[in-house]
Every structure is written in structure tokens, then in C-alpha cells.
Amino acid sequence: MSAGTGTNWFAAVALHWTGGLASASFYLPFRGVKRWSWETYWLVGGFFSWIIAPLAFSYFLVPNFWHAIESASASTLFWTYFFGVLWGLGGLTFGLTMRYLGIGLGMAIALSYCAAFGTLMVPIYNGTFIDLLTHPYGQVILLGVLVCLAGIAVSGMAGMSKERELPEEQKQKVVKEFNFKKGIMVATFSGIMSACFNFGLTAANPIKNSTKVLLSTHHASNIWNGLPSLVVLLWGGFTTNFIWCLILHLKNRSGRQYLATTSAPDENRVVTALEGPGYSQPVENIELPGNHVPLLNNYTLSAIAGVTWYLQFFFYTMGQTKMPEAGKFSGWTLHMASIIIFATLWGVILHEWKGTSKKTHALITGGIIVLVMSTIVVGVGNYLKKQSPAKAGKPSAALVAPHRAA
């Protein structure tokens, strides 16, 4: 038997939350990038996130990892890659959600869709959802999912409260393109597409099974069995983001930035969450003399950001190996909850909530408390499952096609 096997709820939570911390923190190094357009540093960071890091970690931790990928069927590879492409679309449209609904409402709606669809669609597809409804452990886990959604809603209320308390000039920037109908449509699309990452991980089950055999053969820890799956899935995400960044390079004439040591004024462009991908504006107040571009610094910070982003799913796949089989679907809930918790805490540390009212601070605190409670409730459900008698049943199906065979 390979090392590192067996369920351990506390280890699972620790790993999932470490991944959430990485997800909430990855954008911080980008704050130090100077005189590069959004599409430039995003693609450099993405190259490390979606290409270099997945291959490197798989190479060093999974013996002969490529065999697990090449032995998978064409159908498995296609659907894993395809769901990665769809997930990439969700990430690109997330900024547009903020643009049309504002940060608080937009994030609450998009993340609610992502949490709900990413968590519940897998057991629905695999035919185990009815079992969850009819067994105490399943009912408790589903309650934990609902508590997580409530925590996201409270966090969204905190964001809306913050928006109302912004100075008038900032408020005008936030709401000038407010469009509830358009925003709901974009948020729905973004949330569902973002949840496709979890669908892709499910589609990659055959790759994970092959990886498990490889690890066992080489007496290595089974905790690494999700890493080769990420290689294929993130190729899909890279494809979507590469195409979009290429379009922006052509639009903004910013492709030269990868090698240029000096910048032109019209190249200094950024994309913010409020404006959405593809909307560029000149950078102001650049704290550098002349037009010098610190290439080494920019590449280093972008690489750090990219690897940090990858670590969220590095730890996520590790955490999944420590969860009971019937409760693995709830790992997505833990992931979403931890991202919001740590993102909120970073906002507090960076004084993004400075000057807001006691009511807003109470909502921030309440949202974090509810999200932590959701983790506890999901944990209780998984504990109940672990204590329940083993019962033979059909194995979980791999998500290899959008419809079941007739």
C-alpha cells in the first residue's frame, strides 16, 4: 500500500485552506509589476500557473507521471481539457460581473453559482445525490453547503455596504455602468463556467486512477495523485487566456513589452476588476524615473504570482485525497469558503475596509464566522459518513461526456 493513504478530516481542511490562502494571495505580487499592461503580466504569470508549475510539480513528485496522461483515453483527455477551456471563460468574465453589479453584489452572485454548481453537479451526475438526501451524513453535508452559500451572501452584503459608503467620486466609478439584468446574466455565466474546474477534475478520474497505480508501484505517497490531472486541465485554461491576451496585445500594441526595457506612454495600460478584461486605460502616477521598465523585477514577480496561483489547486488535490469518498464533492465548498475568508482578511490587512461603518465591519465579521461554520458543518457530515457502516454501491462515474449513454 502506498504511503499517505487514508482519510483525515483535519488534514483535508488544513490542505484545502492552504490552497484557499494561495488563491486569495496570488495577486499581491502583481501589485509590484511596473509599466506592463495587464495582458503582459497576466500571460507571463499564467505561463507559470498553467504550464511550468503543473509540469514541474508532477515531474518531481509523481514517478513517470506522463504515463498516466498518455494512457488515458482520448475522451478523458478531451473532456478534461474542454472543461479547462470553459473554466477559463468563467475567469475572464468574472471582472465583467464586478463591472455591471459592483464588487459586493457581483462577487456574491458569481461565487454562489460557482460554489453551488461546482459542489452539487458532480454527485447529481454520478447518481449519488439521492443517497445524500436520504442519509443523515449527506443531509448534514448539504446543510454545510447551504451555510457556505449563506456566508457568501453575508460577505456580499458587506461588499454592498462598503460600496454605499464610498466617496461619491468612487461610487460613480463603481455604479456608472450598473445594469442588473446584464449583470445577472454575466454573473450566472461566470459562476457556472468557473465551476467547470471541478467538473474537469471529475472528468480526469481515469488519470487519477492511473496515477494511483504508478504511485503505489513506486511506493510513493498517494497524496500526489491529482497532479497529472492538473497538467491537462490547466492546458485548457491556458488556451482561453492565451487567446484573450493575444487579442489584447494586438488591440493595445503591447506585445513588445516582453523584451522592451523602455516603455511608451500609450503602452502603460491596466485592466481592473471593475472594468473587466479587455477594457484598458492609461496607468497614472508611475513611480519610476523616465520610461525605464524593470524587466527582471516584472518577470520575477509575475512568476511568483503564477506559482502561488497554481498552489491553490496543488493543495486542493492533496486535500481531496484525505476526504472520504462519498464526501469528496464537498471539497469544493471548503475551497470556495477558504478563498473568501482569506481574501476578506487580506482586504482588512491592506486597509481596503478602512473608514467603513460598524455595520459593515459587523457584516465582514459575520460573513467570516458563517463561512467557518460551513466548514465545521461539512466536517460533521463527513465524520458521520466515516462512522457509518460500509455499504456496497456503484463506483463514481468519470465525467467524460455531457450526457449519459442511452
Q: How many domains does the chain have?
A: 1
Q: Which of 367, 352, 357 is nearest to 165 (CA)?
A: 357
Asked whether residue 401 is domain-assigned, the answer is no
Which pLDDT value is given to residue 49? 95
Mean pLDDT, contiguous 10-residue spans, the chain (406 residues): 58 89 86 86 94 96 94 95 93 73 65 75 74 81 82 78 67 55 80 87 92 92 93 96 91 87 63 45 47 89 95 92 75 81 78 77 84 80 66 44 35
Asked whether residue 396 is domain-assigned, the answer is no
Asked whether residue 306 is domain-assigned, the answer is yes
Q: What interhelical angle do 227-252 and 295-321 show, nearest 10? A: 150
Q: Which of 273, 277, 270 is nearest to 352 (CA)?
A: 273
Q: Which of 53, 10, 52 is nearest to 313 (CA)?
A: 53
Give the separation between CA 253 and CA 269, rounded to whole angstroms. Answer: 11
Q: Does residue 269 sit in helix, strand or coil?
A: strand
Cell digits of residue 29: 505580487
Beta bridge partners of 262: 292
Q: Which of 345, 378, 336 is nearest to 112 (CA)?
A: 336
HSE toward the beta carbon, residue 52, CA cutoff 13 A: 15
Asked whether residue 392 is domain-assigned, the answer is no
**Which range of residues forms the domain containing residue 377?**
9-387
Give the separation between CA 84 and CA 94, rounded to whole angstroms. Answer: 15
Asked whether residue 101 is domain-assigned, the answer is yes
Q: Does residue 104 sit in helix, strand or coil?
A: helix
Asked whether residue 403 is domain-assigned, the answer is no
The C-alpha angle with vertex 76 and arms to 74 and 78, in degrees rounded to 5, equals 65
Give the separation between CA 251 and CA 237, rounded to whole angstroms. Answer: 21
Q: H or E element: which one contains 15? A: helix 9-25
Cell digits of residue 404: 449519459
State the burial class of residue 54 (Cβ atoms within 10 Å of its Cβ: 0-12, 13-18, 19+). buried
Give the separation between CA 174 and CA 8, rounded to whole angstroms. Answer: 44
Give the separation between CA 80 and CA 231, rounded to whole angstroms. Answer: 10
